[in-house]
Structure 1
Amino acid sequence: MGLHNAGFHHRALIEVDPHAVQTLEYNTRKQHWENCEVLSWDLTDFDMGELEAKALKDGPLSLLAGGVPCPPFSVAGKQLGEEDERDLFPVMLDIAEVLKPRAVMIENVRGLLEPREKFADYRARIRARLEAMGYRILGWDVLEARDYGVPQLRPRSILVAMREPDASFFLPPRGVKQEVTVAQALKKSMLKRYKAASSRPREEVLRRYSEWLEKASRSIAPTLVGGSKKHGGADLGPTRAKRAWAELGVDAHGVADALGETKDEDRDLFGERGPKLTVAQAALIQGFPEDWEFKGRKTAAYRQVGNAFPPPVAQAVGESVIAALRAADAGAAAPAEQPEGLGPVW
C-alpha cells in the first residue's frame, strides 16, 4: 500500500499465507489496482521462470521490494540468521539477479543491523552479492515509524540498492514534526465501541472512555508483535510491551472482537486493565487507513497486522526511490529534499 501511494504500479504481489492472500486479493480489487496479480506462492519452492514471465511481461521493472521474514534476525527470537530456515534473503537476491530491476528495496527488523557485529559477515555477503550483480547499496539504515506519523515505536532496517551508475539515494525526511499518540489514532474508533456497549449505564460508559482517553494521550504505542507460525498468538506483544500498553489504558492480553460482533463486553471493553484493541484498531496503530480490510479469523487477521510494514514508512521510502530514479534519468544527483507532487511511476 505504501509503495502504491508513493506512485508505483504493482505487477505482482507474492504471499504464502492463505489469509494474507485473501486480504491482498480483496483490497487490490476494491481499490482497482489494475493488472496487479496476487501470487499464492511459497518462495522456498517456486518456478523462477514463471515469475520472470509474469514480472517482465510489460517490460523492465523499476523496483523489486519485499519484507523478508524477520524472525531470523529479531531480538525476540534466537537470532539464528542464515541458519534459520525462514531466512529468505538469498531467495530475494536470486529474484533480483533474474529480474534485474532498476532498484531493490528490502525491509527487515532492526536486529539485522544492531548489534553491528552479530550479522556483520552476513551483511557483507549481501552487499557483495548485490555489487556482483551491478547494484550499489545507496542506503541501509534504521528508520523509525513514529517519525512518519505512525503512532508506534517500530524501528525497521531498510536497504535500498540501485543499478543506475549515477543514482543517489537519500533516506526520506521525517514526515511529521510531532508524534501521533495512541489517543489521536484511536479516539474515534474507541468512542464508537463504547457508544455501542449495551451492558453498562451510559454514565459509566462515558467515564470509562474518558479514563482511557486520558491514559492513551500520553504517548505512542510499543511495537505490535504479530507472532509467527511457530510462536505467538493474538496478543499485542511480550511482557514488557504489555506493561507499556497498560500505561496507555489498553489490555494487551488478547484481541477484541470487531465492532458489532462483541460477545463479551466485560472481557473486550470493561476489563480491569482497560479495553482490548480490535484488529481494525491494531491496523490503525500500524498506519493503515480505515478502508483496508484484513481477511481471516481474528488471530489470523491480527497476525497479518502485527507483521506488517507500516504503509506511511513504505510510502516515504518509495517517494525517495522515485526521486532517485528520476534524477538518474535526468543525469543529475537526487535532490537534497523530497520534491512535491510526485506522479505515478510505471
Structure 2
Amino acid sequence: MKVIMEESGFERLRCLVVCAGAGGLALGLEQAGFDPVLLLDNRSVACETLRLNRPGWNVVEADLLDFDPVDHQETYDVDLLAGGLPRVKASAATGREDSDEEIRILESTIMLMHGVQPRALLIENVPDLVSKPAYGPIRTYVTTELEHLGYRHRWFVLNAMDHGVPQDRKQGVLVAFKNDAVDGFVTPTPGTEPPLTVGEALGASMATRGWPHAAAWAAQADRVAPTLVGGSWNRGGADLGPTGSKRAWARMRVNGGTVADRVPGPDFPWDLSLGIKGMVPLTVEQTARLQGFPDDWSFAGRKTARYRQVGHASPPPVGRVLGLSIRGALSTGRPRPRDGITPNPVTLC
C-alpha cells in the first residue's frame, strides 16, 4: 500500500478522457485530482465497466472519429484532454492504407484540441512513437497542429515498472500545454523502491484456495512481468501475449497460453515434468493487479472481454504520476493552501 497526500486547499481539476477503455488512465488521473466531465469509448463492454465502477461518471459510448464537442459543451475549456489511444503500428506509421485507423484516431484527438481548447493534453501510446524514424511524419503532424493552436509539447518514454507497477511496460507519452506552462512540467522520475515482482504481487492470491505450492511458486517468480498484451478484439481467445512473452512467463512457471477462471486449488499440480500443464495460469483479476488496478475495480463481460480490457489498459499508477506532474505544471504560480489546512491522506492500492 502507498499513501499520498492530497492537499485539500487545491481545487480539483476537470478532464475529458477519450478512448477511455476500462478506466485505467481515468482512475490514475482521478487519484491525481482530475475529475472527468466525460469519458468516451466505442466499446459497450468498456463503457459498462466504467459505469460499474463509477456510476457518477458521464460515460458516452461513441466513436472518437464521430465525436463533436458541440453536442457536449461540458467538455469546453477543460483543464486536461487525455487519451490512452489504440497502439499505433509501424505499418500504419509508414502509410499502409489497410492499417491506418490508429493514425486517424491520433489525428482526431489532436483535431479535438481545436474545439475543446484544454489547458493541457496527455496522450499515451507505444514508445516507438516518441523517437523511431518511421513515426517521424506523425510527430511532424502533431507538432504543426499544436504549434498552430499555441501549445508547446514534449515527448518522452516511461516504464510502468518504475512507478509501482510489477510489469516491464514501456509507454510513449505526449504532453502539451498552452503558452509557457510546459516549462513547469517535470517528467516523472523512477521511484526509489525496487518494483514488485510477480511473486510478491500475486503470491497471496495464489494461496486463497489452498494451493500448497503457492509460497514456492512465488519465491521463484522473482522478476517483474513481461508486457501484458490484450490481443485483437476480433479474433482469438485470452492469453498473455506473443511467443516471446509466453517464454518469459514459462520461466516463472506460468502458463501464458490461457487465462484461468479461478486460482489453483489444493489438487492443482506443480510438476515441471508435465510441461505447460504443470504451470499455473493467471486469472483476469491477477492480470489486473499486474497492471496496477486496485482489487475492488471490476471488469464487465465474459472472461476474454474482461482480459482484453485489462491488457489494453493504461496502468492507473502511471496515470497518477503523469496527472500529478501535469497538475503541478498547471498550478505553477497558484497560491499555496490556506493556513491551517491539513493535507488529507489518500490510500492507494
1:28-177 to structure 2, matched below 5 A, reads 28-29=54-55, 34=56, 36-51=57-72, 53-56=73-76, 60-70=77-87, 72-73=88-89, 78-80=91-93, 83=97, 84-87=100-103, 88-114=105-131, 116-137=132-153, 139-168=154-183, 169-177=185-193
Give structure 2 stretches of 5+ with no counterpart. Answer: 1-26, 336-341
Shift of 1:265: 5.8
Cα distance in 2, alignment partners of residues 190 and 258 from structure 1:
10
Cα distance in 2, alignment partners of residues 272 and 211 from structure 1:
17
The SS at the match of 1:277 is strand
TM-score (norm 1): 0.81
Partner amino acid, structure 1, of 2:46: A
The SS at the match of 1:175 is coil
116-125 vs 143-152, which deviates more? 116-125
The reply on whether 1:15 has 2:15 as its aligned counterpart is no
User: Which of 20, 23, 26 is the equivalent residue of 2:52?
Assistant: 26
User: Which of 244, 251, 260 is the equivalent residue of 1:256?
Assistant: 260
Cα distance in 1, alignment partners of residues 249 and 152 from structure 2:
41
Cα distance in 1, alignment partners of residues 108 and 92 from structure 2:
19
Instruction: Output the aligned Cα RMSD.
Output: 2.6
Give structure 1 stretches of 5+ with no counterpart. Answer: 196-204, 331-339
Please say if residues 12 and 55 of structure 1, whose CA atoms lie closer than 8 Å, have aligned partners that are also in contact: yes
Equivalent residue, structure 1, for 2:215: 210
Render the CA deviation track for 1:116-136: whole Å, top value 9, x for unaligned.
Answer: 211112201111111101100
User: How many residue pairs were aligned?
Assistant: 305
User: Which of 272, 281, 288 is the equivalent residue of 2:286?
Assistant: 281
Shift of 1:329: 4.2
Partner amino acid, structure 2, of 1:153: D
Shift of 1:46: 3.1
Equivalent residue, structure 1, for 2:226: 222
By percentage of residues, which structure has more strand?
Answer: 2
Cα distance in 2, alignment partners of residues 167 and 329 from structure 1:
15
**Residue 328 to residue 163, structure 1, CA distance change in 2 (3 Å):** farther
Cα distance in 2, alignment partners of residues 103 and 68 from structure 1:
16
Partner amino acid, structure 2, of 1:136: R
The SS at the match of 1:292 is coil
Cα distance in 2, alignment partners of residues 273 and 224 from structure 1:
21
Please say if residues 233 and 308 of structure 2, whose CA atoms lie closer than 8 Å, have aligned partners that are also in contact: no
User: Which of 282, 304, 308 is the equivalent residue of 1:299?
Assistant: 304
Cα distance in 2, alignment partners of residues 81 and 319 from structure 1:
34
Shift of 1:316: 0.3
Cα distance in 1, alignment partners of residues 215 and 43 from structure 2:
39
Cα distance in 1, alignment partners of residues 224 and 282 from structure 2:
15
Please say if residues 162 and 190 of structure 2, whose CA atoms lie closer than 8 Å, have aligned partners that are also in contact: yes
Shift of 1:285: 0.4
Shift of 1:80: 4.2
TM-score (norm 2): 0.81
Partner amino acid, structure 2, of 1:124: T
**Residue 326 to residue 117, structure 1, CA distance change in 2 (3 Å):** same
The reply on whether 1:2 has 2:39 as its aligned counterpart is no
**Residue 151 to residue 277, structure 1, CA distance change in 2 (3 Å):** same
**Residue 91 to residue 328, structure 1, CA distance change in 2 (3 Å):** farther
Shift of 1:231: 5.0
Please say if residues 167 and 328 of structure 1, whose CA atoms lie closer than 8 Å, have aligned partners that are also in contact: no
